[in-house]
Amino acid sequence: MNIISRGFRGRGREGPPDRVPPGQYVTDDFPVLSAGPTPHTPLDQWTFSITGGAEPLSWSWDEFRALPSEEITKDIHCVTKWSKLDTSWEGVSVDTLLEAVEHDAAFVMAICDGGYTTNLPLEDVSDGKAWVAYAYGGEPLDPEHGGPARLLVPHLYFWKSAKWVRSLDLRDEDEPGFWESNGYHIRGDPWLEQRYWGD
Amino acid sequence: MRTLVLEADGWTGHRAGQHLDVRLTAEGGYQAERSYSIASAPGEPLGITIELLDDGEVSPYLVEEVRNGDRFELRGPIGGYFVWDGSGDAPVLLIAGGSGVAPLMSMIRHRAAIGSRTPTRLLYSSRSWDDVIYRTELEEPADGLEVFHTLTRSQPPGWTGYARRIDQEMLGEVAWPASEEPRVFICGSTRFVDAAADGLVAMGYPPLSIRTERFGATG
Amino acid sequence: MKTEEMKLDGNAIGGLLMDIFGTDLTASIGVCATCGAVGHMAAVDVYVHAPGVVGRCRTCGSVMIRIVRSETKTWLDLSGTRSIEIVES
């Protein structure tokens, strides 16, 4: 039994229940979470790739920014229990990227500068559910938040929205990424509260 | 800044330099945990000093809200690395950045309590004179303890001490030569600790002679 | 908060390691499985602002330790640490 500390309140607030998944609270901050030092890849060396398809495909920063992109406003939910509503981003839909390559993969692994990885079923990054985002709140994405570009998959816990993403590797089998191999749920749906193994 | 004196069931005492973890639970179950260095010497009533961080989540509660009789959970004492029993022949250099002075105060108080003759210097960096904690106590250092302040943002009128961030030149003046084989304890933010440690290594201090403890600005 | 300020050291997880191992580990000596560097567990670069705790070798940056805790379970990965000489302090 925990001792309740009189008068202590967390900073978050409850939000509209149809928008805030179970166990979450709403914050107005944008907490920075990181498992390591912030990588700093110069844009003239940055590439984004899709590997594991019929042929590997790669875009330079300029080529990537020339792709059709969209502005998106979404709620995001971190497994550490904060949710942030109406966050606005700009990025390239993963559908646009995957259309360029021939494949029959069922899963992807996002691979990032700094060594972070996260795995997703293909259907969780298809049909308008995922982007590679390069701007947040109308500004270029800050390195602390994953810039130059991060994966954005708002319908899953935000550890799946991998910062500093450099490639998506198409796969036949689902292999756990950095957190999924150490206790976090293989899929991570916040509405089913899939935080940990066995949830 | 506020010092809380704690009475803990089952507390077995601590060594100078150790810390404890505090866990707060709100009605409804929300929890937050923070670590605080124990500023009191072994044998004194258990005390921690908390710095109020404006956008903090825990420090405003501990500094502004908590009253006598309030309760929270503790884990500790913790740490077998960043500890000093106050004695030894080799000189000891203590370097503090802001609230990083807390574990070093425990060491200083313990050293005084045991009547140690170990030559000891404290180099203590603060933003201004008002930010210096344990100020009065440090104005009367025990035998063999020398205290050097540096005030990095503003200084009182007539200030003749250091008035800038710790740098190579300051370390050259305050620290013993490496040949005396001093032991070093540095505590503060990551940036402060790394800069001070690098400066000493550049003076020839073996890295293993320097023990460090980094605080985050976790609020 | 910049990531450089968020990087702490093994002292910051002293309590967590004590919960898991039943003893203080900060004074114990770890060997990095990737580069072989030897140092105190207190001298590991530790990131606590994450879905879990990550400890990285100060020499090569490889992950030495990962810890995730739920309300009921703890997951510990020490595959990045070749060995720890436990020093009773």
Q: How far is B185 from chain A (nearest CA, A)?
A: 25
Q: Read off the CATH number of the domain in which B112 is found.
A: 3.40.50.80
Question: Cβ distance C49 to A29 under 8 Å?
Answer: no
Residue A11: band (very low, low, confident or very high) from pLDDT cuts 50, 70, 90? confident
* Percentage of chain A modeled with pLDDT above 90: 95
ipTM of the complex model: 0.94
Does C52 have pLDDT greater than 90?
A: yes
Does C6 have pLDDT greater than 90?
A: no
Place of tokens 């907490």: A31
Does C3 have pLDDT greater than 70?
A: no
The parent domain of residue C41 ranges over 3-85
The residue out of B78, B102, B123 marking a domain boundary is B78
Contact criterion met (CB < 8 Å) for C42 and B81: yes
Together in a domain, B151 and B186? yes
Together in a domain, B29 and B124? no
For residue B86, tell me if it sits in a domain: no
Together in a domain, B204 and B96? yes
The residue out of B78, B106, B139 marking a domain boundary is B78
Nearest chain B residue to C47 by CA: give it. B216
Closest CA to C65 of C30, C36, C37, C19: C30
For residue B85, tell me if it sits in a domain: no
For residue A95, tell me if it sits in a domain: yes
Q: How far is C63 from chain A (nearest CA, A)?
A: 9
Q: How far is A11 from chain C (nearest CA, A)?
A: 16
Together in a domain, B191 and B162? yes
Q: Read off the CATH number of the domain in which A53 is found.
A: 3.90.420.10
A38 touches chain C (CB under 8 A): yes
The parent domain of residue B210 ranges over 92-215
Does C2 have pLDDT greater than 90?
A: no
Nearest to B82 among C11, C18, C88 (CB): C11
Q: Read off the CATH number of the domain in which B38 is found.
A: 2.40.30.10
Contact criterion met (CB < 8 Å) for C73 and A196: yes
Cα separation, B194 vs C58, whole angstroms? 12
Does B3 have pLDDT greater than 80?
A: yes
**Residues comprising chain A, all counted:** 199
Structural tokens at position C84: 């720890």
Contacting A with CB below 8 Å, chain B residues are 23-27, 29-32, 57, 61, 65-66, 70-73
Looking at residue B217, what is its pLDDT?
62
The mean pLDDT value for A24-42 works out to: 94
Residue B64, judged by CB atoms within 10 A of its CB (0-12, 13-18, 19+), counts as exposed
On chain B, the residues whose CB falls within 8 A of the CB of C1 are 216-217
Tens digits of residue pLDDT in A80-102: 999 999 999 999 999 999 999 99
For residue B83, tell me if it sits in a domain: no
Question: Cβ distance B34 to B22 under 8 Å?
Answer: yes
* Entry pTM: 0.95
Nearest to B214 among C9, C40, C88 (CB): C9
Contact criterion met (CB < 8 Å) for A12 and B31: no
Nearest chain A residue to C76 by CA: give it. A182
Domain count within chain A: 1
Nearest to A33 among C51, C56, C68 (CB): C51
Looking at residue B42, what is its pLDDT?
96
| Pairs of CB atoms within 8 A across A/B | 42
On chain C, the residues whose CB falls within 8 A of the CB of A195 are 70
Question: Cβ distance B119 to B144 under 8 Å?
Answer: yes
CA B180 to chain centre: 24
Domain count within chain B: 2
Question: Cβ distance B83 to C89 under 8 Å?
Answer: yes
The parent domain of residue A73 ranges over 43-192
Does C20 have pLDDT greater than 60?
A: yes
Nearest chain A residue to B56 by CA: give it. A11
Q: What average pLDDT does the structure give for chain B?
A: 95
DSSP C89: -
Contact criterion met (CB < 8 Å) for A37 and C52: no
